[in-house]
Amino acid sequence: MEAEEINIAQLSRKISVTENAIRGYVKNSFNRIDCLVAIKLCGYFDVSFGEMFLIKDI
């Protein structure tokens, strides 16, 4: 987000996702990935799902 010079509130308005949802992804404090949110985030930042999210074994 820093490279895009956009904050959570601005991104929330641009992609129609709640600030709380975005904040969870930014802080890496989420338990599941909402597919529609992921699609919107990847589309906005023009990256693939694999670039946006790192999957680790638990």
Angle value at C-alpha 33, between 47 and 15, nearest 5 degrees:
55
Find how far residue 20's CA is from the centre of its chain: 11
DSSP state of 16: T
- pTM of this prediction? 0.82
DSSP state of 31: S
pLDDT at 54: 81
pLDDT at 2: 63
pLDDT at 1: 64
Dihedral sign computed on CA atoms, order 26, 29, 56, 50: negative
pLDDT at 30: 85
Q: pLDDT at residue 58 above 80?
A: no
pLDDT, tens only, 3-55: 668 999 999 999 999 999 999 999 988 888 899 999 999 999 999 998 998 87
